[in-house]
Structure 1
Amino acid sequence: MQYRNLGKTGFSISEISLGTWQVGGKWGDSFSHDNADQILNAAVDSGVNFIDTADVYGDGESEKAVGRLVRSRTERIYVATKCGRRLQPHVNEAYQPKVLRNFVEDSLRNMGLETLDLIQLHCPPTEVYYRPAIFEEFDRLKDEGKIQNLGVSVEKIEEGLKAIEFPNVQSVQIIFNMFRQRPAELFFEQAKRREIGIIVRVPLASGLLTGKFDRNTNFSKDDHRNFNRQGDAFDKGETFSGVDYETGLAAVDELKAVFPGAQNVAPDALRWILTFDAVSCIIPGASKPEHLASNLQAMERPAPSPEQMAAVKKIYDERIKNPVHYLW
């Protein structure tokens, strides 16, 4: 495992880390603590030292599993969680300092920890990024020792650029993959200039970039890849990175020719992300231990050649860019 700095936090974190939405979120299965424990411990055994969760994953059960992991291991494991999505309705006016403070304290109780290494606002409405009082509350939480660092998880480039204007924002979690390339433009440049850590989520476009799906693949009714393709439950860009499913399948077929011999495109798709030095880590999810093993294969892949990088860009420009690039 290789490690990179998470911005100015002083944390040296695994390039390939672990996101736990699949462990406790809308992926078609109910929460299993036994399965979560297997995945989490296997990740740490493989050198992963950064775990991303959220209070809404499994209604707090994911946080409980992560806390149990941290308390049971001797390794230094950095814990990031998120707050805000529990607000109903999830609107700008619902974001209030006292409410967010309560969410932080709930997460500490869920995990059985005294402090959070990183707390992130969980994709709040754009208007929240224009309210300094929200960000100031996290300075007080840091002074009290309840958090170590503040980050944000964003949907849009605009939100990331606005967030990093606040001096206490240390990291930005953002969707970036072969089907969502816009962050590599202005945002990566500005984040590097400010020494902001970049946590890449949805790196496999909800599994589309594994190359294992086809037109006959069925997703259960409780799986967001079934019910959220048009953004009926939350931002459309969180599901298949906002790419039309049929379009994505066609693009993946072309990617398989760029990386010949790889029936599983996932390791090459993850390795492609790591060619961008602005990235601190990737947080692919895993709903089974074998998914984790697949993700970790990226460490064994060579960096894509200049010809492969150009081919990926060409596929993006011709198939994906027009309907996706300008929305997020």
Structure 2
Amino acid sequence: MGIVLLDRSSSIGRFGTQKEWGELKESWNMKYRKFGNTGLEVSAISLGTWGIGGAGWGNTDYKQCEEAVMAMLDAGVNLIDTAPAYNDGMAERFLGDVLKTKRDSIYYVTKTGTQYKNGVYSTDDSADAIRKQCEESLNYLKTDFIDVYLVHWPDGKVPMEETFSELNRLQSEGKIHHIGVSNFSMEQIEEAKKYSRIEVIQDQYSMVYREEESKIVQTHKDGIGVMTYGSMGAGILSGRYRQLPKFEKGDMRSGFYNFFEEPQFSKIQELLMIMDEISKTHNGIPLSQIALNWNIQKEFVDTAIVGVRSVKHAVENCSTTGWKLTKEEMQKLDEYVNNI
């Protein structure tokens, strides 16, 4: 890709002196949790790279993305989520170039089975496809092993025994360390458990999407690590969108998510007004931090994935762990989101 590597100290200058930068990092106060029974200790906020991949998320400035990633690491983020489906491996290649000297301080979560080529997503969880993608991911990420390897989406055409038997082989070869699933139903998780040890799940979860909550709660009780995506509701919980936007064709904010459609959009606007009130009581804290705070304060969420493409967003997101919503504020938000 020709990524120009920046020094880790590149964030200094944007926020003042070395001393001031150090004080800012200290104020972030990143929290760490046990990641199920994996034995890993992961940051409460993890870095998502779907947007960095570029496809379906507008124009991408990779220098800004690099600065944002470094700022996240400076703040203590140690878990990075990616996938081959994020623009045909573009996100993985970016990470491999930018973080090849940082490998010892981060955990990689990547996925298998789903691909994105020529603007089309496809799923193939066959043994051959999984092995091929694993080798490509190892090459793109410039690593000898993947910390957590997830089946991106279930594939009804391929028996789960074939899928997870191949993952077991990759694990025995040391190419992957922990096996998990993404976007699987509870029934599918139980089926997968017949053939492999499932240690991590990844599902969409936010104030505006709680359809998987009962599953997430149960799997967490069972000792499975839980990571959530879509924590910001495709950006709508940042408060940026107060009028119904018109996205370009193929934009994931209007394709994969339904938050920018009526009547959901108007209902969420009411939620934003409640968040506005909470923000005022916390000296104007960004709404994005309220959304993330709500997520990571749920005891069944180990880490919440956040996509960033600028240092500004990285700083805002990582500052979330420096404060907490009160019990009353959590209850107020819960009461409203239960009715959405």
Q: After TM superposition, is the score higher than 0.5?
A: yes
**Aligned partner (choices 1, 25, 38) of residue 9 of structure 1:** 38
CA drift at 1:222: 4.7
**Aligned partner (choices 119, 136, 144) of residue 106 of structure 1:** 136
Structure 1 distance, partners of 2:272, 2:167, is: 41
Which consecutive residues of structure 1, in runs of 5 or more, have no partner in the other structure?
229-235, 321-328
Alignment of 1:108-257 (within 5 A): 108-125=138-155, 127=156, 131-154=160-183, 156=185, 158-160=187-189, 162-163=191-192, 167-185=196-214, 187-215=215-243, 217-226=245-254, 228=255, 236=256, 238=257, 240=259, 244-257=264-277
2:112 is aligned to 83
Which consecutive residues of structure 2, in runs of 5 or more, have no partner in the other structure?
1-29
2:93 is aligned to 64
Structure 2 distance, partners of 1:253, 1:130, is: 47
Q: Is 1:26 aligned to 2:84, yes or no?
A: no
Residue-by-residue CA offset, 1:40-62 (whole Å, 9 max, x unaligned) = 21111111111001112132121
**RMSD of aligned residue pairs (Cα, Å):** 2.6
Alignment of 1:291-310 (within 5 A): 291-302=313-324, 304-310=325-331
Residue-by-residue CA offset, 1:45-82 (whole Å, 9 max, x unaligned) = 11111100111213212101212233222752101111
Give the share of equivalent positions with the same residue, in percent: 26
For the residue of structure 1 that corresponds to 2:83, the secondary structure is coil
Residues paired across the two proteins, number? 305
**Is the 8 Å Cα contact of residues 17 and 282 (structure 1) preserved in structure 2?**
yes
CA drift at 1:246: 2.8
Change (3 A) 1:128 1:254: farther
Partner AA of 2:294 in structure 1: W
CA drift at 1:219: 3.4
Structure 2 distance, partners of 1:143, 1:60, is: 25
TM-score scaled by structure 1? 0.83
Structure 1 distance, partners of 2:152, 2:127, is: 14
2:332 is aligned to 311
Structure 1 distance, partners of 2:31, 2:286, is: 22
**Is the 8 Å Cα contact of residues 7 and 170 (structure 1) preserved in structure 2?**
yes
CA drift at 1:216: 5.2
**Is the 8 Å Cα contact of residues 258 and 311 (structure 1) preserved in structure 2?**
no
**Is the 8 Å Cα contact of residues 155 and 175 (structure 1) preserved in structure 2?**
no
When structure 1 is superposed on structure 2, of 240-249 and 206-215 the one drifting more is 240-249
CA drift at 1:167: 4.0
For the residue of structure 2 that corresponds to 1:177, the secondary structure is coil
CA drift at 1:249: 2.2
Structure 1 distance, partners of 2:158, 2:31, is: 33
Structure 1 distance, partners of 2:106, 2:121, is: 33
CA drift at 1:23: 0.9
For the residue of structure 2 that corresponds to 1:79, the secondary structure is strand
Structure 1 distance, partners of 2:199, 2:141, is: 22
Change (3 A) 1:289 1:165: farther
- Larger-Rg structure: 2
CA drift at 1:285: 0.5
**Is the 8 Å Cα contact of residues 258 and 264 (structure 2) preserved in structure 1?**
no
CA drift at 1:306: 2.7
